[in-house]
Structure 1
């Protein structure tokens, strides 16, 4: 099926996938269109020169490395909570890597397919230390800042209803305005995925330590990349890019040693890096696709530590985001 065309920012024709072959459209266009959060510490944000970085940004780079052998061939599209699903449904983007929680309704009613989760988190609450709030029950009657159109909005309603508590939602789409509303005292608490809360404290330039997270995680929020239903080949590629980062870490293949590991006698490592077999051809890409991912972007640990390691601005323990062999939930399917 022929890929349709759309006009790029400069008015030049740009291949766009309709209901057909997304991989073919991406190759014809020469870049992956990746929908990301406009600005979320650790996950996705542009710098002053417009260069994007973040955990989910790196998974977009990993897809580009698999398709083109060049991780830089990505165009990032900043999407609000309200824009993200129409953007992937309409073909404005090829993949959504924007803090999307995989749920049954999104998987079915929204026409999405989810790759394996790349980050496990859950709803959390940030409060001011001096307010003496130590548990959810202390928020009875509170004003709580939250983003619209998110699973967090629904989760908070369920959490408070289950405990017989009341609250006043302060719903703001723009992330900076949302955080400002909390920092300036318009809200008693701010709620987001718990992984996002450490970054929020940085917005209080006078005293970031004045804010604390309440203990506990109050929902299941498996964040995963999403693609449109109806294109199994593209779904397979995005899914196996994810598994490749897990498997590379498990096999000890990292950005630092990937060239050396190409000489490994371990058949699993040889298959992973395309020394033997034709896994790439099965997905419609070069057989060295995983080598390109690890060399240019890294394995899962490389990516995680870059953005959430102890020396990063948003330091987070891996917890559930560790390999299954280390007590976490990450489990890469066999690449055979």
Structure 2
């Protein structure tokens, strides 16, 4: 048994500002050693994602109490029996869906849809059913099989992908969610082709990752849409050929004009049903709308049904970038190292674990692309 610091969320729905309501409590907890097929990882860097914020504000309900965090990189410090080829000293990035490798979805090359992984994530446990964290009030649930807002975590080896040990942990962490989700949505889900038009709604970490993925795929024109002029300027520096402020009264018409009646591919990363409706409206005939956002479960979508048929339109969800983590995380890292994916430009702030509540205020206000907690 190991003692470690962790950020615990005991109840969802705390009001913003979080610097005042303090939904996340930093305290010492007990961490069990790895069982069969599990490893303990020293977390070196962990990103703050809207999926974490969605648990805090209650729009993405999870079992409580929970050690939050799912986008991270670290170093293996202990292994259990049969650790899937991992060894002490390996640097790893986490996959937020543990991949069993045996269910029908995994067998079909769709590990993001892994059934045992979904059950474990929904129940706040590892694939084995274990909940390694505990404090004086009892067991603490795992977040998406990772629970990265802690100095150490114990996880299924099937939640880990070994990476190049020379990669900066602060950058490596971003490949676990922002890059895998955003670039994957473009490369795996939409399969954007060179010379075809693409538009991206929402320029947070995932949206900007989709943008740089589209640029690497040769999309042209490449349109970025957001309410923030600062993020639009960043998008231009990352390769957007055009930018549109979503607050403009004619924003949709601007996107349609730039893309000659509608884009071949439109990616929505905001997590809003209304924005998804707009993204669908900005998609051209025979085009594809891909959504990676996570709206509230009660949200409903209103689109013209007949357009799916007469315009041969495609509306697709993309979870975890439709990725195969063991294939795509090393592949996207190689693209970064080759200068094709400027992932380092997505890192906007670094902070300490003790600053986490204030950092979620920054995320809630839309003032950051990706904030990363650095663990000394």
TM-score by length of 2: 0.29
Q: Which has the higher contact order (CA 8 A, sep 6+)?
A: 1
User: Quick check: which one's strand share is greater?
Assistant: 2
User: Quick check: which one's helix share is greater?
Assistant: 1
TM-score by length of 1: 0.32
